[in-house]
Amino acid sequence: MTINSQKIRFFRSQIPSFECEPGCHDCCGPVTTSTDEMARLPIKSDRDHEIALANLSCPHLGNGCEVYAERPLICRLFGTTPRLVCPKGNRPVKMIHPQIEERIHQFFVETRHVLV
């Protein structure tokens, strides 16, 4: 397991979860993710990527997130921090700890990211 994979695993364990509103995909726009996280996602065709980008969406969005268990850190952060609020106002009982959030953002800065 790489150092980045260990960091991703740790960060995932620190991001609180909450129930999304069924059918809502307001935060499922184009995002970037680390190459380590991207490697865990199913490969989509160039056409799938083009269509998603044209619709300001994610290529893994079907009748909901098709990769929910492996969704990138940025997707997991939505709704758990005041910096990335849920458009519907949903949130966990306890938001992410600010120090953990800062460490995740530092990881984003230090790690090569690609468009999902």
Contact predicate 96/69, CB 8 Å: no
What integer best gives the mean pLDDT of the chain?
A: 94
The number of residues in the chain equals 116
The neighbour count for residue 102, using CB atoms within 10 Å, is: 11
pLDDT(55) > 90: yes
What pLDDT does 38 receive?
96
pLDDT(99) > 80: yes
Average pLDDT estimate for 21-33: 90
Q: Is the pTM of this model over 0.85?
A: yes
